[in-house]
Amino acid sequence: MIEPSASPPPESPYQPMMMLPPRRRGGISPNSLVLVIGLFLGVLIFAGTLSFHAALLIPVPCSGCPVPTDPAVIAYRDTIRTLGWVSVVTMDLAVSFSVAMAWIAGGSRGELSDSTRRGIFVFATVFLAVWLIFSWAE
């Protein structure tokens, strides 16, 4: 029999088990998806602008024109073509890289506000459109 005047037994220091963080869902997170899409768009823009400019740089063959045989003229044409290709590749790479970085920076979660992200997306779109317009007006 338990005496009513007796103090209750001391409680043991019980600590509940720590909760594990919730398991991540399978698959890719939306943030990672935006970053991958930005990289993919940059590669596609580079390939597209490169092929676009390549079509503009390839000279149209003249049906009635004689083929130059002077080595100086041939060397000059080859030099101009080489410089044109180097220019096209580097500028198209710069445009596609800046658009991809704008897409990645705008899509990444960070301290950026929504209006800043939208501004970055607008910059990428307008920059690409202006680049294509100026390229076409060549």
Domain residue spans of the chain: 30-57+79-136
Alpha carbons 88 and 55: distance in angstroms, whole number: 11
Alpha carbons 123 and 98: distance in angstroms, whole number: 10
Percent of the chain with pLDDT over 70: 78
- Close Cβ partners of 36 (under 8 Å, ≥ 6 residues apart): 28
CB 49 within 8 A of CB 95: yes
Q: Encoding tokens for residue 25? A: 């869902």
Helices (H), 1-138: 30-57, 71-107, 114-136
Alpha carbons 74 and 56: distance in angstroms, whole number: 20
What is the C-alpha R_g of the chain?
32
Flag residues of the chain having pLDDT under 50: none
User: Looking at residue 75, what is its pLDDT?
Assistant: 85
Taking only the tens place, the pLDDT of each residue in 39-68 is: 887 787 788 777 777 777 777 667 777 878
User: Looking at residue 99, what is its pLDDT?
Assistant: 80
User: Looking at residue 123, what is its pLDDT?
Assistant: 82
User: Looking at residue 109, what is its pLDDT?
Assistant: 65
DSSP-derived letter for residue 69 is -
User: Looking at residue 9, what is its pLDDT?
Assistant: 63
**This prediction's pTM:** 0.51
- Shortest CA distance to 102 belongs to which of 128, 80, 72? 128
Alpha carbons 117 and 123: distance in angstroms, whole number: 10
